[in-house]
Amino acid sequence: MTDARAPAIEDYAVIGDCRTAALISRGGSIDWLCVPRFDSPSVFGALLDPGAGRFVVRPTTPFETTRRYLPDTNVLETTFRCDTGTVRLTDAMTVPARPEGSQGLIPGHEILRRVECVDGWVEIEVLCEPRFEYGRRAARCTDMGAAGLLFDDDGTEALVLMTDVEMKPVAGGDDGCGGSDSGGGSDAGGSSNAGGSPSRWVGRARLTAGAVRYVSLTTEHAGPVTVTPLGEAADRRLAATAGWWREWLSDCAYEGDYGALVRRSMLVLKLLAFPPSGAILAAVTTSLPESPGGARNWDYRYCWLRDASMTLEVLLHLGFVHEGESFLAWLLHTTRLTRPKLQVLYDVYGRTPVREKELDHLAGYRGARPVRIGNGAVHQVQHDIYGELLRAARSFVEAGGRLDRAEARLLAEVGETVCSQWREPDQGIWEVRNPMRQWTYSKAMCWVALDCLLALHDQNALPLRRSRDAIEAEMRAIREAIDQHGWSEDRNSYVAWFDGEEADAATLILGLAGYEDPDSHRMRGTLAFVEAQLAEDGLIRRYTFDDGQPGREGAFGICGFWRAELLARQGRLDEASTAFERACADANDVGLFAEQIDPQTGGMLGNFPQAFTHIGLASAAKEIARARGRPSREAARSPGNTEAVRQP
Amino acid sequence: MNVTDVLLWGGIATVIMTAVLEIGMALGWTRMSLPYILGTILTSNRRLAPALGMGLHFVVGIGFAFGYALAFQRLGAANGWVGAILGVIHALVILVLLPFMAGLHPRMASEDEGPVARPALQPPGFFALHYGRRTPVFGILAHVLYGVIIGAFYQLV
């Protein structure tokens, strides 16, 4: 079932409604959609197996593609140029906001696709083939006449397809697809187990200049599906969606040189946010490989605490106060459930994700197996997350937010846990599945946790559970341990683990998180060591030591932005800008990043789009602007004073 | 008619029937959410509709309980078996009539016309089969339970 012709990761763009998201290839194929939530089973899963369902709108003849997002929105516009003419496809997941005065119902989710012939004539094709439960089950299709095509099975999810293109059921493999992402041949790959399935429906229409067709797919969990009108009503929903994104982004306070990149990153972050709880996901996908064809395939549809403080700082400093408040509320609610110990990751509602499982029936992205759901890292021990949590709380309070009594008590308990646990080994920020070690970064973040604890106490934000002197004694002990074992005179650098000699890109954060002066001799040495050991073609790997996994991963997207941010804090602004622009150079054509970049090919690796990378981009851009004397304008609102709340 | 029993057991039977239907939806056995369908008669607000519909469903459930009580009095017997038979009839009436609601429901699409101007609920189809293949079976089961509870506890006067 291997499909070497699956589109490259960078050939995808994303649309979403802050509950779930869809990946769309340059060939107009939605190859990934999970409903009703990001972490639910997929209904379109061709990304991981050509037979796991897809939803295509494209020309039937070979074409060339250009794409963009409508300015300041998550509405995607794909232009297909064929020999006979040009069509423009506009894709969005409509935000569930009702236009004023409307009496219509809001669907659970809607993917709205509008295709317009711009010049000449083009025959287009619509193909809809959902498969439930990660492709395990074909959908049963019922023609509801003027109310559309109903796709369901004996589960909780159902979809309704409304279109003004006449649709017909076709046998498996006979979908007549004439175009592909590259403009020739078929990228269909054929359904491995859908032969003759009535769940595959195809329609064709010949469009001449000015002609428009609509395709609307609505989904519902458990209840009746909402059916949506086409035509002008669909245009209004698209316009409302674009307007909603623009209004949301109008809060962006960034005023530096990299405005377009920062705004795109904030749009990605918002798209990955889950408003019912305030959580922000790491990525939309599972099991996109970190090494081509390899086994480094993980499920990233969860929320990692390691991203917490940087996420919150970016949100608060760039003007997205409500999202920052919601994220901190999720963080504190979530960690309350497992206190005083913290887990590495949680699901969008703050629950422990299901155990890691392998989906043997899926071929994997370009044959990269296994496909995993759930994430085994949940059971790991990582001490750096205590520092992340307390640093996030400190940012929140310093921005004017207030902690309630329960939150303050929780954070004080976390401080106690740090004092009792920091001497123990852990698995480190990179979740290495080897025996636990004494990671330098983890120790430093424990120091940061206690430093933030004292700072919060100084601002009357929380009580201390032990004396200030006792906490300061622990901090001294941590620093002594790092000085003795985590610093290498030979390397003139902090090293990955105690008494080791390996480089670790995470040690750059020591100069960003307040543990070390960013312009100190030690941080300059550490940066030089990391560049010497981990840089390749201007990109930075997170490490090169053996992590117990087969294959070799690519350069880690966010590490390049850490380097740029550290250079900016050292006052090396030209170098910082060069490093930043190099790190940005491998964004795809619509400004999105995966987790990693293959230094040899420049292709993307790992799950996509990746919040961590976009957070790093926004944070580095903010720091470069600040260092150049152009700090972000003051946020219009501060925590606790969010008057206008706009949620989709 | 024993009004106290109608109000008490009619209310309890409605709550249990609603709970069973909700469990059925959560397990993927049916998408027939009677509270949501009723609620969207009153409002297009997606968050408000289930709550309003739940209230309306409760009122309707007690209303039907008066019908059951009337039938018990006429038949001169009230027990679980009679209640179950009435429940089957009740469910069949709803399943048969539900497709015709598309014409009366202000926010339900029609298989003939579709949603001309605004988003609407999918139509239920014959025997509400568009809401899942098991919907008729589950609908009958829930209403039989409703009938059994009222029949078993209603005291004839």
Query: What is the Cα gyration radius of chain A?
Result: 25
Chain B residue closest to A225 (CA)?
A: B122
CA atoms of A31 and A163, how far apart (whole Å): 19
Strand, helix or coil for residue A45: coil
CB contact under 8 A, B111 and A147: yes
Rounded distance, CA A191 to CA A648, Å? 35
The beta-carbon neighbor of A103 closest among B28, B112, B118 is B118
Average model confidence (pLDDT) across chain A: 90
Distances, alpha carbon B24 to alpha carbons B20, B28, B60, in Å: 6, 6, 20
Residue indicated by tokens 């929140």: A396
Nearest CA distance, A16 vs chain B (angstrom): 19
Q: What is the pLDDT of residue B16?
A: 94
Q: What are phi and psi of A117, to 5 degrees?
A: -80, 120
Residue A406: how many CB atoms within 10 A of its CB?
11
ipTM of the complex: 0.76
Between A634 and A577, residue with greater pLDDT = A577
For position A190, what pLDDT does the model report?
40
B107 neighbourhood in chain A, CB within 8 Å: 103-105
Indicate the residue of A154, A162, A227 with minimum beta-carbon distance to B28.
A154
State yes or no: pLDDT of A640 exceeds 80: no
Q: Tokens in use for B132?
A: 């899942």
Cross-chain Cβ contact B121/A226 below 8 Å? yes
Question: A103 pLDDT exceeds 50?
Answer: yes
Q: Do A144 and B124 touch (CB under 8 A)?
A: no
Q: Look up residue A53 and give its two tokens.
A: 């369902």
Q: Which residues of chain B fall below pLDDT 50? A: none
**pLDDT at position B24:** 87
Cα–Cα dist A261/A584, whole Å: 8
**Contact (CB<8Å) B132/A228:** no
**Dihedrals phi, psi of A461, to nearest 5 degrees:** -90, -20
Under a CB-based contact definition with an 8 Å cutoff, are residues A21 and A14 in contact? yes
Q: Among A85-99, A201-215, B140-154, which stretch is predicted with the lowest mean pLDDT?
A: A85-99
pLDDT confidence bin for A176, thresholds 50/70/90? very low
pLDDT over threshold 90, residue A278: no
Contact A41, A32 (CB under 8 A): no
For the four alpha carbons of A34, A36, A41 and A44, in that order, the dihedral sign comes to negative
B25 at interface of A, judged by CB pairs closer than 8 A: yes
Closest-CA residue of A relative to B128 is A224
Least confident piece of the model among A47-56, A180-189, A394-403, A547-556: A180-189
B110: chain A residues, CB-CB within 8 Å? 146-147
Residues of A in contact with B116 (CB under 8 A): 229
Whether residues B36 and A223 touch (CB distance < 8 A) is answered with yes
* pTM of model > 0.80: yes
Question: pLDDT above 90 covers what percent of chain A?
Answer: 73
Spatial separation of the C-alpha atoms in residues A418 and A446, rounded to whole Å: 6
Q: Is B40–A105 a contact, with Cβ atoms under 8 angstroms apart?
A: yes
Close Cβ partners of A385 (under 8 Å, ≥ 6 residues apart): A305, A306, A308, A342, A344, A445
Q: Work out the average pLDDT over A549-554.
A: 85
Could you tell me the two tokens for A400? 């004017």
User: How far apart, in whole angstroms, are the C-alpha atoms of residue A19 and residue A21?
Assistant: 7
Distance CA A180, CA A195 (A): 21
Cross-chain residue pair B107–A104, CB shorter than 8 Å? yes
Q: What is the share, in percent, of chain A residues with pLDDT greater than 70?
A: 91
Measured between CA atoms, the residue of chain A closest to residue B134 is A154
Q: For residue A154, which residues of chain B lie inside 8 Å, CB to CB?
A: 28-29, 132-134
Q: Which residue has the higher pLDDT, B9 or A99?
A: B9
What are the φ/ψ torsions at residue A277 (nearest 5 degrees)?
-125, -20
Mean pLDDT is lowest, of A333-337, A598-602, B85-89, B103-107, for A333-337
> 3-class SS at A89?
strand
Q: Which residue has the tokens 């098991």?
A: B134
- How many angstroms separate the CA atoms of B51 and B35, rounded? 8
Q: Which of A96, A105, A160 sits opposite B107 (nearest CB)?
A: A105
**pLDDT tens digits, one per residue of A561-591:** 999 999 999 999 999 999 999 999 999 999 9
pLDDT, tens digit (0-9, with 9 covering 90-100), for A607-617: 999 999 999 99
Residue A639: band (very low, low, confident or very high) from pLDDT cuts 50, 70, 90: low
